[in-house]
């Protein structure tokens, strides 16, 4: 991979210099494959113990505002990792819970879904509702289909994209997962929204944004951070990523977070 390893001394020093020049650092983190090792069963994919411990330390710092950005439903994400002074963005940012607001925010809730799009969506839902080989997760405004085979996922992905072309829904592909969700919103738009909310609430101007993620859905966030620091966590897919830097695995993510917290 033609990317820079962010834990190399020179790259780490560069990152620390950037952090020192900003009023605050907005740290955006994907969950699965980034903070937690990837698991076939999503409910067993817990963050590494040292990762949760260091995040609790970082969120108390005056230097950082932490936001978790995941494809998981908001309610499920909050059960997987418990932080009290951080922001949560579930369902790729379609539902956002910020620690300084009273209610969950649905920034894309006003999009109207036409009848034909709804019909196609319902067709897929009914088709996989009782499937034994594919686990269907109903998120309310979207569906996630978990596959036990990448070959099967790839086969269905082509059909899904053809079916939902020019509709109000988009098809997102992840690690053994396909998601059908309202078009026009992604992790990139979500982190821009969260950034604007933080800057306005705390009257900030000069912020550094860091995004760490491992999945295809994180590429939208990498593209949105042209002025920030983007870090790809490697997995078996080994993406041709837009990120500038890389880490090798979630254990590396924990190492980086420790460095940011001032631990050796």
Tens of pLDDT along 74-104?
A: 999 999 999 999 999 999 999 999 999 989 9
Least confident of 88-97, 133-142, 215-224: 133-142
Q: Burial code of 87-113, b = ≥16 C-beta within 10 A, e = fewer? A: bbbbbbbbbbbbeeeeeebebbeeeee
CATH superfamily, domain at 4-108+186-260: HAD superfamily/HAD-like (3.40.50.1000)
Q: What is the pairing mode between strands 177-182 and 229-233?
A: unpaired
Encode pLDDT of 111-120 as tens digits.
788 999 999 9
Give 11: exposed, middle or buried? Use CB within 10 Å, 0-12, 13-18, 19+: middle
Q: What percent of the chain has pLDDT over 90?
A: 73
pLDDT at 264 over 80: no
Give ∠ CA 35-1-259 in degrees, rounded to 5. 40
Q: What is the rounded CA–CA span in Å between residue 211 and residue 232?
A: 8
Of the pLDDT bands very low, low, confident and very high (cuts 50, 70, 90), residue 110 is low
Q: What residue ranges do the domains of the chain occupy?
A: 4-108+186-260, 115-182
Nearest one of 140, 208, 215 to 177, comparing CA atoms: 215
Tell me how far apart the alpha carbons of residues 180 and 40 are, in angstroms, rounded to a whole number: 19
According to DSSP, the β-strands at 177-182 and 169-173 are: antiparallel
Q: What is the pTM of this model?
A: 0.86
Whole-angstrom Cα distance, residue 204 to residue 115?
A: 43
Task: Assess whether pLDDT exceeds 60 at residue 1.
Answer: no
CATH of domain 115-182: 3.30.70.1020
């Amino acid at each position: 991979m033609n990317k820079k390893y962010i834990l190399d001394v020179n790259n780490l020093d560069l990152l620390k210099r950037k952090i020192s020049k900003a009023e605050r650092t907005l740290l955006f983190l994907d969950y699965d494959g980034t903070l937690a090792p990837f698991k076939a069963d999503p409910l067993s994919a817990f963050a590494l113990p040292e990762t949760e411990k260091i995040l609790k330390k970082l969120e108390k710092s005056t230097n950082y505002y932490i936001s978790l950005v995941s494809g998981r439903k908001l309610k499920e994400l909050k059960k997987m990792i418990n932080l009290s002074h951080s922001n949560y963005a579930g369902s790729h940012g379609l539902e956002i819970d910020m620690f300084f607001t009273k209610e969950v925010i649905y920034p894309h809730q006003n999009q109207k879904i036409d009848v034909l799009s709804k019909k196609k969506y319902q067709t897929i839902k009914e088709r996989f509702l009782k499937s034994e080989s594919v686990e269907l997760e109903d998120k309310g405004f979207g569906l996630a289909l978990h596959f036990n085979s990448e070959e099967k996922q790839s086969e269905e992905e082509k059909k899904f994209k053809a079916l939902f072309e020019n509709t109000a829904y988009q098809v997102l592909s992840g690690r053994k997962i396909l998601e059908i969700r309202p078009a026009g919103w992604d992790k990139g738009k979500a982190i821009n929204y969260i950034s604007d909310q933080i800057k306005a609430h705390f009257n900030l101007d000069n912020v550094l944004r860091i995004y760490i993620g491992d999945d295809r859905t994180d590429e939208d966030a990498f593209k949105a951070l042209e002025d920030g620091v983007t870090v790809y966590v490697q997995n078996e897919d080994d993406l041709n990523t837009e990120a500038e830097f890389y880490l090798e695995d979630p254990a590396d993510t924990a190492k980086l977070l420790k460095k940011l917290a001032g631990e050796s």
